[in-house]
Amino acid sequence: MVDLFRRIAKLSNRATQDTAAYDAEEVKLKTYTELSNTLSQISSSATMAVRPTLEEIITNRAKYQERVQVDFKHLGHVWEDVFQLFVTGTVQSIEAKLKAQMDEMKKELGAYVEEVFSATASNSLYASSSKRKLSDDDVAMSNSNVSRSSADGDFAHKRRRLAQSLQTTPLGGTYPPGDGREGETRSTEPYGGTLQQLTEENERLKAVIRDQSAMLPGSNYSASWASSAEMEDDST
């Protein structure tokens, strides 16, 4: 770029000098032409005296005119080179900035895509963990239901045994002396201890059922069932 401007300065200086010389020759040509016309009116010999000088002026004028044209032509080429260099530099600068912007956008897009993939993977892991947790809860609930059903079955079995004992054995009853059933009363005394044991065990089973019902879903149903069982025992 610096060399181009140096050439421009040199060509501009020479073109200015050649233009000044051309203008000077133009003035001389005009002056000698007028002088030749004046001398031609006096005599032809006088006109011949100024002819060589007039021809030299015409020659120099043509030479300087050509040099000025060449100088301006060269200046035009140099200025075209400067303009082309300026355009090339501007285009390269714009392309470099565009490339930097594109690289930055690609980098941000890559980070965004990676973040989206990470979030998707995390959601998938969370969903799988939730499914496994639900499965474990279902298994635990099923086991609890089985345990509760087993306890309910044992409780019902012992209730039936207790009912049969109450139907076949008088509880705490006494018979008049000499009654033939007095011997039966003495023979049923051992069942009193068995009845007491069954009653205590019945109370323990009901307490266990109430505790399990309070911790498991459906506790309202189990509690109401236990309450109805107690009411039935009281009525019995």
Q: What is the pLDDT along the chain (236 residues), one digit of tens a residue?
A: 777 778 888 888 888 888 898 889 889 888 888 888 887 787 777 778 778 888 888 888 888 889 888 888 888 888 888 888 888 888 899 999 999 999 998 888 888 888 887 777 776 665 566 555 555 555 555 555 545 555 555 555 555 665 565 555 444 444 454 444 444 445 555 555 677 788 888 788 888 777 766 665 544 444 454 455 555 554 44
Structure tokens at 215: 């911790």
Residue found under tokens 């007491």? 196
Domain with CATH 1.10.287 in the chain: 2-94
Burial 193-208 (b: 16+ CB within 10 A, else e): eebeebeeebeebbeb
- Identify the pLDDT of residue 37: 83
- Identify the pLDDT of residue 130: 59
The answer to whether the CB of 182 falls within 8 A of the CB of 192 is: no
Q: How far apart (Å, rounded) are the C-alpha atoms in residues 2 and 6?
A: 6
Options 1.10.287, 1.10.3470, 1.10.1740, 1.20.1070; CATH for 2-94 is: 1.10.287
- Identify the pLDDT of residue 189: 53
**CA separation (Å) from 27 to 24, 53, 61?**
5, 13, 10
- Identify the pLDDT of residue 195: 75
Q: How far apart (Å, rounded) are the C-alpha atoms in residues 74 and 7?
A: 9
- Identify the pLDDT of residue 153: 58
